[in-house]
Amino acid sequence: MSLQLVFATNNLNKLNEVQKLIPATIQLLSLKDIGCEEDIPETQPTIEGNAIQKAEYVKTNYGYDCFADDTGLEVNALNGEPGVYSARYAGPQRNADDNMNKLLHALEDQHDRSAHFKTVIALHLNGKLETFTGICEGDIIKEKRGDKGFGYDPIFQPKDYKQTFAEMDLDLKNRIGHRGKAVQLLISFLNTL
């Protein structure tokens, strides 16, 4: 099986993470590869909705089979915030440090620091839409640790681990992380075609 799929993201960190997980039989194209320079709308109220919206946008406007993901950090003590607004939690500048600082401040007086990352992948393939969800449970620690990864990785410590995502090597993060889990479900599905 040889398959060409667009991964609808401009985030090179995500692209690299997923490329390591995808079998060699699947050629991954970026948005840049297909000439998509515009920002794809993400206006849905849910993580699932945003993933579906992005996949449908690429299929409709560029004609490529495609998958898109959306990821959010959902903190229990904050009723699931920042959730769908994770990337722009502290404002439209989408600055990871600003987002982490706002979250740490919001949790200052909270004893419950449990949270989970959730990734939903929407696959638009052969006229059908499928979704795959990966979740990684953990806690928000009180200070940033580590310099790997991106986003909230320096303050998220997965359950049963002493390291934050930002302290882990990419192989371990991919094995236990939300995106890795969702991608594995995607790959399992693609292998049945």
Determine if the peptide bond prior to 82 is cis (ω within 30°): yes
Residues in contact with 43: Cβ distance below 8 Å, sequence separation at least 6, in sequence order: 50, 53
Choosing from 69, 70, 139, 153, the catalytic residue is 70
Residue 14 · residue 22 · CB < 8 Å: no
**97 labelled catalytic:** no
Residue ranges of the alpha helices (H) in the chain? 12-21, 47-62, 96-106, 170-176, 178-190
- Catalytic amino acids? 70
